[in-house]
Amino acid sequence: MPTVLLTGAASGIGRATAESFLDNGWTVYATDIDADGLDELAREGCHTEVLDVTDDAAVEAVVERVETDSGGIDCLVNNAGYGQMGPVEDVPIDRMRAQFDVNYWGAIRCTKAVLAGMRERGGGTVVTVASVMGQVASPGWGAYAGSKHALEGTSDALRVEVATEGIDVVLVEPAWVRTGFADRVHDRLAGFDRTGCYERIYESLEGNGVVGGGPLSVTPDRVANRIVAAAESSDPVARYTVGLGARAIVLSGLLPDAVRDYIQRLLIRRFSEGR
């Protein structure tokens, strides 16, 4: 059976992805910093490990154990991440560093740790759960979008670098997903000073439309199915967008910057007034 190593598996997209891989006959190593959230996956048949993706030594140790126990990693799914929202001026630097350390550096740490083993075995797939915010950023999403933009650029370079080794590098890009993401975003808007001129941005972020997506959101299972399909494809594409909302946001990137900026200002006003 092929083996997948998955980060951020305790809930949401990660849990759905672990279960989808299990249903497709994979050996699943599910990791997360939340030990309690892994218990149910262990009962379902996953091998589970507590993993903090910001810890170099921990990442290397987990990858080594999985390679030793399973004979090698066929797919890595970088899913660990979270959203730190707020205007760029207001979000403290330490919070921005933490955002990048998990969303960007966490994925890079894990990817670097599995590449040598994949190369020795003649191939593998690295799937990173990015976001359409990695292509088109919105006001109030600067720290989060910046981390996802960084993943986009690094993945584009890596994809070409390892192509001759039989290693595929794939980005899966949802927009809104029906998880606890929005609730946690609201929690992280507290604890720092707010500049008065950004009141409308804060009001829009504290509503459900901008962060939750409403009817444009998709289920975690839909994202999980796309991840598994990419892992099992012999010739995956570089990017998979998931859902109508995600496709619409990507297409908005084709608009002139001034037009897109104007539309975003209108949306901020609408969502702040309808909070």
Active site residues: 144
Q: How many CB atoms lie within 10 A of CB 195?
A: 12
Inter-axis angle of helices 142-161 and 107-121, nearest 10: 20
Beta carbons within 8 Å of 42's beta carbon, 6+ residues apart: 48
Q: Give per-residue burial for 141-151: e unless 16+ CB within 10 Å, then b.
A: bbbbbbbbbbb
The residue type at 177: V
Sheet (strand 124-129) strand order: 47-50, 27-32, 3-6, 75-78, 124-129, 167-174, 239-242
Tokens for 94?
């330490």
DSSP secondary structure letter of residue 218: B
Residue for token pair 């595929």: 168
Please state, in angstroms and rounded to a whole number, the distance separating the CA atoms of residues 10 and 24: 19
DSSP states of 132-143: GGGTS--TT-HH
Question: By the 8 A CB rule, do 224 and 13 touch?
Answer: yes
Q: How many CB atoms lie within 10 A of CB 270?
A: 14
Residue for token pair 């997506």: 213
